[in-house]
Structure 1
Amino acid sequence: MPKIQNIRKQGYLLSITHQNERIIKNLLESIDDSYFNNQERALDLLLSIAFKSKSTFLVRKEDEYKVSKSSIDDDIRRLREILEAYDVSIISVPKMGLQFKGLEKIFELLFLLS
């Protein structure tokens, strides 16, 4: 069993075998620590609402992106401002998730311009 020592003003020291050290290093290296920035999240949200066959729910996106509710709210607010210029809005429908509201031709134009 590994021994843990508290070294004052320096932190903790974990005494482990070389084999356990390699296992821990491999686990740490295998962790996917890539995260979307706010622009990438906004694009993913936009594409998710537009093209996914499953409903898009903000709570699920919070977990998927590993961000807070306020970060997702900021992303949605930014998307709504962008889409407003095209007379398109994002609405949240209970039990159906996020959906676009607007003219179909504007959707086509929006994706052609992107």
Structure 2
Amino acid sequence: MAQLADKRPSFPRFTGQDSVDVAIVGGGYTGLWAAYFAKKLEPSLSVAVFEAEQVGYGASGRNGGWLSAMPPGNRATFARAGGGLEASRALQQEFVAGVDAVLDIL
């Protein structure tokens, strides 16, 4: 990141003089994903992402920001939790589809 510092865009600080249709606080995965889909679903919206540091500064840029198709737990436990084996498989497929969707958009 230090090598890219000269190429990183700079944006003016928000002074409260403008208004937007959608204001998103936080430039991590969740905030950027929300902004992306807000514009995709309704292109006429004005959308602003507010980040105190730099995009990806918080957990999305460290150990909290990971993209994985692995469920956060034991698949056998998911299967016993009420939905059975098919529900556990469907959940796993959703995790895979989520990773694929992020990669497609990137």
TM-score > 0.5, shorter chain as reference: no
- Please give the TM-score of this superposition, normalised by the length of structure 2: 0.26
Higher RCO (CA-CA < 8 Å; seq separation 6+): 2
- Please give the TM-score of this superposition, normalised by the length of structure 1: 0.25
Larger radius of gyration: 1
